[in-house]
Chain A
Amino acid sequence: MTDPKPRIAIIPGDPSGIGPELIARLLHEDGVTDAADIVLVGDGHVWHRGAEQAGLGIQLAPIAAPDLHDQHGLSWLPMQTIAPEDVRIAEVTVAGGTSSLRCLDTALDLAMDGAVDGVLFGPFNKAALTSAGLNAEDEHRYMARYLGFRGYHGEINVLGDLMTTRVTSHIGLRDVADRITPEAITQAIGLAEDTCRRAGKSRPHIAVAALNPHAGDNGKFGREEIDVLQPVIDAAQAKQKHVTGPWPSDTVFLKAQRGEVDAVVTMYHDQGQIAIKLMGFDRGVTVAGGLPIPVATPAHGTAFDIAGQGKANVGATLEAYRLLVRMARHHRAARAA
């Protein structure tokens, strides 16, 4: 019988940013080391520096990769990805990006091998990743490619109990309406539903946002709601899914604030991001939705303006960890079954 406690790999993110400090803080939060077995993956000096920045201690008990299947408690898988003198706090460096990617690759390998049940990463720096050869639109596409995963996947923004997925993401607003197709909406709904399930919600309520102001007001300000969105929603309901909408996007997040929905499917980037960032700028979590293994990270960035100063707020990292533990437990049970 499998131990229900999941095992999580944690990587620091960009060593120049607030990631190492945040993970040091995370390990001191109540209940964190009890909720899962934890494997820190990365360079010892990076972890030590993060702990120093936080003004806290960190315990690094080395373990070798072959022993991970029996690992319990808090362990450290040593790596040498960056020389101590190459760590430049609050700077975009190729070395920082390279270190980020090497730790990420290793953690993904561990998860695919079944040695760990989920991966938590500290904030990456997009420019550093790009300079180090990311060669992808973002880290989500990078991870999918690294894992050889060809299915539908995408960034999911999480705030507390609310998840949001997007039908379109990083494209010009001019191109949004043409991409609002039945297939794309169905996939975004499916991704939301799947991720909610993996987080332990068996029949999530998914609210679909409208594209046009006032949801088109019966076709007066656009017909996508009538011609595209409503038929997709009807079809989902016919399959007994709890999918509702299309809801005017200026009020759909109020439903979410009242706890009436588990996920909102948005049509374009700013539609969801404006509300989510207003509702909890410091608590947002990003999940790599759709991937075969659970991966989560705080939604904020490397915060170079405060990096190395011991001021970083652990809130979003703690939320990311808690969500990841739920998903990892589900993943572990599904694998054992």
Chain B
Amino acid sequence: MTGPAPIALTCGEPAGIGPELAAKAWDTLRGTLPFVWLGDPGHLPQGTPVARIDDPAEAAGAALRALPVIPHGFGGPAVPGQPDPSHAAHVIAVIEQSVAMAQAGKVAGVCTGPIHKKALKDGAGFAHPGHTEFLAALGGVDRVVMMLACPALRVVPATIHIPLAQVPGALTASGLRDVLRITHAGLRRDFSIENPRLAVAGLNPHAGEGGAMGTEEIDLIFPVIKDLQAEGMAIIGPHSADTMFHPAARARYDAAVCMYHDQALIPIKTLDFSGGVNVTLGLPFIRTSPDHGTAFDIAGTGRADPASLIAALRLARDMGAARAATG
């Protein structure tokens, strides 16, 4: 049979909620959205029906009766909440394996389970600042963009995990231009939006109100917008961030580009706490992930909510189909 290729779901940190969410997601989706889990079957909750497969092409058939798994032995059980240093190298190897499968066209995209950076650093000398940077290195690209998506909103923070005091200094015209271009290209290629409309937030309250409360809008953001408009991009702003997220405003754009982490995260979490999906644009393969961490505090209790992972799998499937259609 030749359906669309499945999505590869990596196990992430096995001491976190990744494995139990994979089992829950399969239980919800069954055969409707084929994905294959990469990890140690011994880390899944007891009683999870598992179909061990070798080739992702078998996933669609197997998913009707069990969670399709391409096994990767970690050499020992996972204790919820307590990462095992000897597992770190395996967590990394699983990510590498999923990327290799995506690059070879055997899977339509990669959905990554949450990792624990410190555990990987302590256990295997993991030197990348985060999951996304590691994937960029594997994909051979310098610059990627993080986008968060839920049905009501897509947001892109132009700066991410830095202190608020460093945000103004970290914003540069070339950096902002890259973020806007990658976002624009990603929406075209992976979201089937022919002419993506971008809205850009100001940095300051009321978008600076004509320079009265900060001049970054005038000196930096507006010139970048004008340059890209001249290239033909549908891009508007800088807008006052507090009035660009209500329904009527959202109807005017396909993605909002924000200047800092919380400017992007506050609106999306307020609109949809559990359904947000993290998307990496600019990679040579599709990558999504749920918008939560390893949640060691509730790992193993069965309380973790699979909504974000399910949304991430669905979005990876849709993005894979869009990319296949646009070539």
| Residues B241 and A221 in contact, CB atoms below 8 Å apart | no
B residues less than 8 Å from A275 (CB atoms)? 266-267, 270
B residues less than 8 Å from A248 (CB atoms)? 262
Docked complex Cα distance between A254 and B204 (Å): 24
| Residues A270 and B205 in contact, CB atoms below 8 Å apart | yes
Q: B283 near A: Cβ within 8 Å?
A: no
Which of B209, B214, B242: most chain A CB closer than 10 A? Answer: B242
Query: Interface extent on B, as a size class?
Result: 35 or more
Within 8 A of A (CB), among B198-253: 203-206, 208-209, 212-216, 241-243, 245-246
| Distance between A228 CB and nearest chain B CB, rounded to angstroms | 12
| Residues A277 and B246 in contact, CB atoms below 8 Å apart | yes
Q: Quick check: which of A70-78, A146-154, A168-176, A325-333 contacts chain B, the rest being far away?
A: A168-176
A residues less than 8 Å from B212 (CB atoms)? 170
| Distance between B217 CB and nearest chain A CB, rounded to angstroms | 10
Instruction: Kindly identify which residue among A222, A253, A281 contacts B164, using a CB–CB cutoff of 8 Å.
Output: A222
| Residues A277 and B161 in contact, CB atoms below 8 Å apart | no
| Total chain A interface residues with beta-carbon distance under 8 A | 39
Instruction: Kindly identify which residue among B168, B216, B259, B262 contacts A249, using a CB–CB cutoff of 8 Å.
Output: B262
Against B, the Cβ 8 Å flags (1 = close, 0 = not) of A201-223 are: 00000000001111011001111
Q: B52 near A: Cβ within 8 Å?
A: no
| Residues A213 and B262 in contact, CB atoms below 8 Å apart | yes
| Distance between B245 CB and nearest chain A CB, rounded to angstroms | 5
| Residues A269 and B205 in contact, CB atoms below 8 Å apart | yes
| Distance between B128 CB and nearest chain A CB, rounded to angstroms | 15
Q: A68 near B: Cβ within 8 Å?
A: no
A residues less than 8 Å from B206 (CB atoms)? 170, 269
| Residues A273 and B161 in contact, CB atoms below 8 Å apart | no
Q: B50 near A: Cβ within 8 Å?
A: no
| Residues B162 and A274 in contact, CB atoms below 8 Å apart | no
| Distance between B256 CB and nearest chain A CB, rounded to angstroms | 11
Q: A80 near B: Cβ within 8 Å?
A: no
Q: A83 near B: Cβ within 8 Å?
A: no
Q: Known contacts being A170-B213, A212-B163, A213-B161, is A250 close to B242, with CB within 8 Å?
A: no
| Residues B163 and A216 in contact, CB atoms below 8 Å apart | yes
Within 8 A of B (CB), among A61-111: none
| Residues B161 and A270 in contact, CB atoms below 8 Å apart | no
Across the A-B interface, the 10 shortest Cβ-Cβ residue pairs: A172-B214, A222-B163, A273-B242, A177-B165, A250-B265, A269-B205, A213-B261, A174-B168, A270-B241, A250-B269
Partner-A contacts on B (CB < 8 A) = 160-168, 203-206, 208-209, 212-216, 241-243, 245-246, 259-263, 265-267, 269-271, 273
Not counting A173-B214, A213-B260, A273-B242, a sample of 8 additional A-B residue pairs whose C-beta atoms are within 8 angstroms of each other reads A213-B161, A224-B165, A249-B265, A250-B266, A268-B205, A269-B205, A270-B241, A270-B263
30 A-B contacts, Cβ less than 8 Å apart? Answer: A169-B205, A171-B213, A172-B203, A172-B204, A172-B208, A172-B214, A172-B215, A173-B260, A174-B216, A176-B165, A212-B163, A213-B160, A213-B162, A217-B161, A221-B161, A222-B166, A249-B262, A249-B265, A250-B265, A250-B266, A250-B269, A251-B269, A253-B269, A254-B273, A257-B270, A270-B241, A271-B266, A277-B245, A278-B267, A281-B246
